[in-house]
Amino acid sequence: MTATLAPEHTVTTTVPTPARPAVRPGAASPAALVAIEVRKSLSTRSGRALAAASALLAPTAALVVSAASDGTLGSVTGPIGVMGMLTGLVLLALGVLSTAGEWTHRTVQTTFLLTPRRGRVLAAKAVAVALLGAAFAAVSTALSVGVLALMEQGIVWDGAGQAVAAAVGAGTAFAVIGAGTGAALTNTPAALTGLYLVILGALPVVRTFEPEIGSKLDPAEAVLALAQGDAVARSVLVVAAWTVVALVAGAVVTRRRAVA
């Protein structure tokens, strides 16, 4: 801006340019995304029902079995393994709902609009369901162990620590497997039906006719073996392979599928 006072005097005044306000990055942090996905998984009626079932089904089954066993269960590792497997099967559904549920209910459009980087979304979902799976499996296992301690006076507790770790790890892995499968199939009924048919239907048949092949494919049998300290390396590889394959398949479909 220039102001003229007289022909022989010219004064130049410079107006300072206001500083631009700092712009915060629009993307949520990984921790914030995980927290959002945890809240989303527990915000629906079905999610809360599955959470309650995963925490209470196994202890209830342990109570029924203990009441009918007359103190003949023997080692605690087998019952804890079975209870861990039951909890894991419920947590499969929780994982499926976290990913396939978004496609089924068309909320995936809003999710990817807010966070366009789909890989970040899937990673956040996987971490969220892993945390939920570990938490609910820990609660379920603790309650189951409490029931066994109260109801079974002569039960052998050798190896209980490994069995508990296997049960909690199974809950974590199965929840992630469900999330990966749900992301790969993008349809809740298809993902749930497919998983339960394979794990509870097809693989037991394979084990009947080809035990060696079945033992290398069945994650449920791997959990039981881990809890009892049998074939530890192979059992860990089976569960890990299911987790990795499910996540890779889910990531490929999530990145490529168009959001209608």
| Residue pLDDT, tens place only, 185-229 | 999 999 999 999 999 999 999 999 999 998 899 999 999 999 999
pLDDT of residue 2: 47
| Domain membership flag for residue 137 | yes
With respect to residue 221, please indicate whether it lies within any of the assigned structural domains: yes
> Residue 234 and residue 223: Cα distance in Å, rounded?
11
Say if 5 falls within a structural domain.
no
Q: Residue 133 has which token pair?
A: 């799976």
> How confident is the prediction for the chain on average, in pLDDT?
88
pLDDT in tens, 220-239: 999 999 999 998 999 999 99
Does 176 map to a domain? yes
**What is the rounded end-to-end Cα distance, in angstroms, of the chain?**
54
CA distances from 135 to 12, 52, 128, 160 (A): 70, 12, 11, 18
Q: Which residues contact 122 (CB under 8 A, 6 or more apart)?
A: 99, 179, 183, 247, 250, 251, 254
DSSP E strand boundaries for 46-144: none
Q: Name which residue leads in pLDDT, 83 or 257.
A: 83
- Residue type (1 letter), 29: S
Residue 106 belongs to domain spanning: 31-256
Q: Answer whether residue 1 shows pLDDT above 60.
A: no
Cα 116 to Cα 186: distance, rounded to the nearest angstrom: 18
The answer as to whether 13 is a domain residue is no
Q: Measure Cα distances from 245 to 4, 15, 98, 183, 193 in Å.
A: 77, 62, 18, 12, 18
d(CA 83, CA 61): 8
Q: What is the mean pLDDT of residues 124-146?
A: 96
pLDDT in the model for residue 23: 40
Quick check: 21 pLDDT over 80?
no
Provide the 3-class DSSP secondary structure of residue 12: strand
| Mean pLDDT of the 165-180 span | 97
CA–CA distance, 88 with 93 (Å, rounded to integer) = 9
- Tokens standing for residue 199: 């794990």
Distances (CA, A) of 161 to 52, 152, 158, 232: 24, 17, 8, 14
More confident residue, 218 or 19: 218
Q: 88 pLDDT exceeds 80?
A: yes
Query: Is 48 a domain residue?
Result: yes
Q: How many CB atoms lie within 10 A of CB 120?
A: 14
Q: How far is CA 204 from CA 90, 213, 235, in A?
A: 18, 11, 16
- Answer yes or no: is 120 within a domain: yes
Band (pLDDT 50/70/90 cuts) for residue 74 is confident
Domain count for the chain:
1
In a domain, 1, yes or no: no
